[in-house]
Amino acid sequence: MNAMDKPNLTVAATAPCEAAHLDQSATEARRQRLVADRDVEALAETFRILGDPTRVRILDVLAMGELCVCDIAELVEISESAVSHQLRLLRGMRLVRPRRAGRQVYYSIDDHHIISLFQQGLRHVMEERTAVSKERG
């Protein structure tokens, strides 16, 4: 199939390769719909924060409901100090939120978007694992 078979694709005059490329107006239309640089940076930072196994475990336990630092530490099997450090990072990215009750502070996931992101990522990992198992079996 060549570039002429698809009406919305043409070979650009200065094509860097031999593949069919979008015409200039289509390229510009896509460029205008790209995510803003500031938002790309914020999203990348969110994924960077989510890239730590300890923080993923903390989000996992918080996905089941609000907990205090000592309960999180018990479930994740790390010190309260380490939990507090991780929670500070998660709070800074608005992934978790605190609620003070007297001297005790309880944490929960900030909003449903975080739970959805966590669940979609987990589904992706589980599907990938299932696909690999089927290929081997």
pLDDT 10s digits, 3-62: 444 445 554 555 567 777 778 888 888 889 999 999 999 999 999 999 999 999 999 999
Q: What's the rounded mean pLDDT across residues 81-110?
A: 96
* Cα dihedral 48→51→52→57 (10° resolution): 130
Provide the residue ranges of all domains of the chain, joining segments of one domain with +: 3-34, 39-136
pLDDT on residue 24: 82
pTM of the model: 0.74
CA–CA separation, 116 vs 111, rounded Å? 9
Residues 6+ apart with CB under 8 A from 92: none
pLDDT in tens, 95-105: 999 999 999 99
More confident residue, 10 or 131: 131
- What fold, for 39-136? Arc Repressor Mutant, subunit A (1.10.10)
